[in-house]
Amino acid sequence: SQELEQSPQSLIVQEGKNLTINCTSSKTLYGLYWYKQKYGEGLIFLMMLQKGGEEKSHEKITAKLDEKKQQSSLHITASQPSHAGIYLCGADFTGGGNKLTFGTGTQLKVEL
Amino acid sequence: DTAVSQTPKYLVTQMGNDKSIKCEQNLGHDTMYWYKQDSKKFLKIMFSYNNKELIINETVPNRFSPKSPDKAHLNLHINSLELGDSAVYFCASSQERGLSYNEQFFGPGTRLTVL
């Protein structure tokens, strides 16, 4: 099984709807990173959550890290077509910050 | 200005050939990485270099050899290409800031197809 599982695997929402993507780790997290990938492009950094649990927001995206559950959620409010893409969570399991283990990815489509 | 660039963007080649992918970053970062993304979009780290020194070397066949001529460049050379090497290869870079903070900047990817 994967060390980092994301759910759902894919998601189709109507424009304007809210959505949540989850990332669950089977190991202790030192840091959790969220990235977005558009088709045919590289990954764009969204935000990083530190060990201990925290919550961060940027524009309409909010990410939380629950240390007890070793789980992170990414919430998008009032989704727009520009939010479409693949969302990947990346975990730092070593504390060194260099090696990231990525999740299985969530493909998001936003319909008009 | 391109932060992390890779060439070529697409690479189609025959089994058994040797090929190289180049990566350059102009961010002044001291750490660079190579990742492989398979057809299911699963992204896995292959190598990492810090100031031209290899610091991460995952279980990757010896046919893959990274080379870092300076800290702004990390090239990936692949010998005797196999069908299973078909994937998208991403280069990334980061600047270590401590406290486990490591925002990585990714290149656009190189789609390798082995026939």
Chain A partners of B99 at a C-beta cutoff of 8 Å?
Answer: 50, 97
Residue B41: how many CB atoms within 10 A of its CB? 16
pLDDT in tens, A21-30: 999 999 988 8
Question: Residues 6 or more apart from B59 whose CB is under 8 A from it?
Answer: none
pLDDT in tens, A42-70: 899 999 998 777 899 989 999 999 988 89
Contacts of A82 (CB under 8 A, 6+ apart): none
Q: What is the mean pLDDT of chain B?
A: 91
Single-letter amino acid, residue A28 = T
The predicted structure's pLDDT at residue A99: 86
d(C-alpha B12, C-alpha A103), whole Å: 28
Judging by DSSP bridges, how do beta strands B73-78 and A4-7 pair with one another?
Answer: unpaired
Amino acid, res. B71: K
Cβ contact B79:B60 at 8 Å: no
**What distance in Å separates the CA atoms of residue B84 and residue B98, rounded to the nearest whole number?**
36
CA dist B32 and B96 (Å) reads 11
B107 contacts in chain A (CB < 8 Å): 42
CA distance B7 to A94: 31
Choice among A93-97, B40-44, B66-70, B85-89 with the minimum mean pLDDT = A93-97
Q: Which residue in the set A35, A43, A98 is minimally distant from B31, CB to CB?
A: A98
User: Of A81 and B53, which is predicted with more confidence?
Assistant: A81
Location of structure tokens 């558009």:
A38
Phi, psi of A56 (to 5 degrees): -135, 150
Binary contact (A43, B90; C-beta < 8 A): yes
What percent of chain A has pLDDT above 70?
Answer: 99
In chain A, the N- to C-terminal Cα span, in Å, equals 36
Q: What pLDDT, on a 0 to 100 scale, did the predictor assign at position B1?
A: 65
- Predicted local distance difference test score (pLDDT) of residue A22: 97
Q: Is pLDDT at A101 greater than 70 in this prediction? A: yes
- For residue B39, the chain A residue with the least C-alpha distance is A104
Q: Residue written as tokens 């909010």?
A: A62
Cα end-to-end span (Å), chain B: 34
Interface of A with B in 19-38 (CB under 8 A): 30-31, 33, 35, 37
CB contacts < 8 Å between A and B, how many? Answer: 74
More confident residue, A13 or A30: A13
